[in-house]
């Protein structure tokens, strides 16, 4: 039997243009990524971020509220407060490895040899200075945690 499309009522107006912006913290964005994009459970995601599950839940809830608000009100989303989260890159031509703070955009080329053949190698993990580094490489072929 063909599935019948049922009408639904929504009472919203789509924003006609993008105006204004809302700030979302890097932690909140990471919570969305782990829970909604990667599909991890809150327990797993909290563990990866090194925080408790209730804290993760709070961060995730706030992140979803902000993203919802941005969609409904047509706001740009600006990621802030990611200075303590470092990203690690490697040049596949000269082997040089370096770190860039989160939120600065992807580097164009290797700072040492100028090759564009660079890749991110941390998969978003590890906090600069904090000695985190746990869970490195779980992005491709996610293994069991602990």
**Residues contributing to the site for Zn ion (CB under 5 A):** 91, 93-94, 96, 110, 112-113, 115
Nearest approach, Cβ of residue 101 and Zn ion (Å) = 20
Which residues touch 103 (CB under 8 Å, ≥6 apart)? 26, 79, 80, 82, 83
Nearest approach, Cβ of residue 99 and Zn ion (Å) = 15
Nearest approach, Cβ of residue 100 and Zn ion (Å) = 14
In the bound state with Zn ion, the residue whose beta carbon lies nearer, of 47 and 87, is 87
Nearest approach, Cβ of residue 136 and Zn ion (Å) = 21
Q: For residues 47 and 81, give the distance between their C-alpha atoms in angstroms, rounded to a whole number.
A: 21
In the bound state with Zn ion, the residue whose beta carbon lies nearer, of 111 and 133, is 111
In the bound state with Zn ion, the residue whose beta carbon lies nearer, of 32 and 110, is 110
CB atoms within 10 A of CB 106: 9
Please provide the DSSP assignment of 104-118 as one string. S---SS-TTT--S-E
């Amino acid at each position: 039997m063909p599935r019948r499309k049922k009408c639904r009522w929504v009472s919203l107006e789509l924003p006609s243009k993008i105006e204004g912006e809302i700030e979302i913290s890097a932690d909140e964005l990471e919570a969305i990524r782990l829970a909604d994009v990667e599909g991890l459970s809150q327990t797993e995601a909290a563990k990866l971020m090194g925080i408790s599950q209730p804290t993760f839940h709070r961060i995730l809830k706030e992140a979803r509220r902000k993203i919802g608000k941005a969609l409904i009100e047509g706001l740009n989303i600006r990621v802030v407060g990611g200075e303590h989260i470092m990203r690690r890159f490697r040049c596949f031509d000269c082997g040089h490895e370096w770190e860039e703070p989160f939120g600065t955009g992807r580097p164009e080329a290797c700072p040492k040899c100028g090759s564009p053949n660079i890749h991110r190698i941390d998969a978003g993990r590890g906090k600069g200075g904090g000695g985190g580094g746990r869970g490195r490489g779980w992005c491709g072929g996610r293994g069991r945690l602990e």
